[in-house]
Amino acid sequence: MTRVLILGANGGLARHTTDMFLKTTDATLTLYLRRAARLKSPDSKRVRIIDGDVLDAVALTAAMKDQDVVYANLAGDMQRQAEAIIEAMHAAGLKRLVFISSMGIYSEVPGERYRSVLDPYRDSAASIETSDLDYTILRPGWFTQERRNDYQVTQKGEPFKGHDVSLNALSTLIVKLCTTRGLHIRQSLGVSNG
């Protein structure tokens, strides 16, 4: 049974993935978010909810106690968030991080140039890549509501394949990464529907 800490748990992708964890695994979940009253626990036996900001080092480190995996589903000042996560994981003795970024951070999407709007994604990925954590960075394409859950991945250094990715496919991959020991460790993966 894997213990997963979900940061930014009120995000659209995080909520979708929480449902998938509950439906397809026996993982226990800690949902960490600002203004926690916005979320109701979907399963009080397996889901704990904690009010907190990722930039609050004390609260974040405390939330990491007795966890196996950190799944970060954030937006905004992502480099500061990444630094805070790395520091808290060190303090808590945790190694495994699944971090949601975006396609385009390495100018890897053929025919597309995403400029400064992606800087927080680039900078946070760079911080994580230089850390000693067992990270997997995901660089998804545009999210869709399609029901399909097939996905293809590309490695850093390869051109991004495809364009869109369904939330179902992305959540399927996130759940697999969090619950399968050693999968795609220290890799940054482009993700789209196949």
Ligand X SMILES: NC(=O)c1ccc[n+]([C@@H]2O[C@H](COP(=O)([O-])OP(=O)(O)OC[C@H]3O[C@@H](n4cnc5c(N)ncnc54)[C@H](OP(=O)(O)O)[C@@H]3O)[C@@H](O)[C@H]2O)c1
Binder to ligand X among 31, 54, 82, 125 (CB under 6 A)?
Answer: 54
Q: Does 190 bind ligand X (CB under 6 A)?
A: no
Choose, by CB under 6 A, the member of 57, 58, 75, 185 that binds ligand X. Answer: 75
Say whether residue 34 binds ligand X (CB under 6 A).
Answer: yes
Interior angle at CA 90, CA 89 and CA 96, nearest 5? 50
Q: Is 62 in the site for ligand X (CB under 6 A)?
A: no
76 lines the binding site for ligand X (CB under 6 A) = yes
Rounded least distance, CB 56 to ligand X, Å? 8
d(CA 38, CA 27): 22
Tokens at residue 32, please?
């960490």
Q: Count the residues of the shown chain that bind ligand X, applying the rule CB under 6 A.
A: 22
What is the SS3 assignment for 61?
A: helix
Site string for ligand X, 5-24 (x = CB under 6 A): ---x-xxxxx----------
Count CB-CB contacts under 10 A for residue 100.
Answer: 25
| Burial of residue 78 (number of CB atoms within 10 Å: 0-12, 13-18, 19+) | buried
Answer yes or no whether residue 58 interacts with ligand X by CB under 6 A.
no
